[in-house]
């Protein structure tokens, strides 16, 4: 089993020393502490470095530090966290795809009235676009109501 000091862990993983201290303070990733000649030294073993790498990946996909800390300590929680995040990311991607479609259509249409027939769009695209616009209006109204009520 290898042990690395904080500086070596930062070199291996790209983490900063302040991030390592923060994760320790939050109880997310604790080092092995060893006293040596009156000097306290934080050391990390192979398992801790592996957990740190998983922590970074979970953070990258949008998992909170607290939730990631729990997940890296329990394989079942880790899998459930990844699957939930994957579903959330897919929903976000679908929303972004729809926003891109609308933006592209607006760019092509050059400001046309979306609810009026236009020769540049075939009937199927007009139907899809009009339905999308109506759904966006409904969603916008729901969000507006929620923000005003919240």
Please indicate, yes or no, if residue 27 is contained in any of the structural domains: yes
**C-alpha to C-alpha distance for 34 and 12, rounded to whole angstroms:** 20
Based on the fold, state whether residues 110 and 142 are members of the same structural domain.
yes
**Whether 68 and 117 share a structural domain:** no
Q: Which structural domain range is residue 102 located in?
A: 89-149
Rg (CA), the chain: 25
Give the CATH number, domain containing residue 29: 1.10.1660.10
Q: Within a 10 A sphere around the Cβ of 98, how many other Cβ atoms?
A: 13
Residue 81 belongs to a domain = no
How many structural domains does the chain have?
2
Whether 109 and 58 share a structural domain: no
**Run of H or E including 104:** helix 75-109
One domain, residues 28 and 61: yes
Q: Which residues does residue 36 pair with via DSSP β-bridges, in sequence order?
A: 39
- State whether 49 and 110 are in the same domain: no
Residues 57 and 15 in one domain: yes
Q: What is the pLDDT along the chain (150 residues), one digit of tens a residue?
A: 788 999 999 999 999 999 999 999 999 998 887 767 767 788 999 999 999 999 999 999 999 999 999 999 999 999 999 999 999 999 999 999 888 887 777 766 655 555 454 555 667 776 777 777 777 777 766 665 555 555
Residues 39 and 94 grouped into a single domain: no
CA distance 47 to 133: 51
């Amino acid at each position: 089993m290898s042990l690395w000091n904080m500086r070596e862990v930062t070199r291996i993983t790209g983490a900063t020393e302040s991030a390592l201290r923060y994760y320790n303070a939050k109880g997310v990733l604790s080092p092995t502490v060893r006293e040596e000649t009156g000097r306290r030294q934080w050391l990390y073993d192979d398992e801790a470095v592996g957990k740190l790498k998983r922590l970074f990946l979970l953070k990258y996909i949008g998992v909170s530090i607290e939730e990631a800390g729990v997940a890296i300590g329990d394989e079942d929680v880790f899998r459930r966290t990844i699957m939930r995040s994957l579903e959330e990311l897919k929903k976000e991607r679908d929303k972004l795809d729809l926003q891109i479609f609308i933006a592209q259509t607006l760019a092509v249409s050059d400001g046309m009235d979306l609810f009026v027939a236009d020769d540049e769009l075939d009937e199927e695209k007009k139907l899809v676009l009009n339905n999308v616009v109506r759904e966006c209006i409904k969603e916008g109204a729901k969000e507006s109501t929620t923000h005003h009520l919240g």
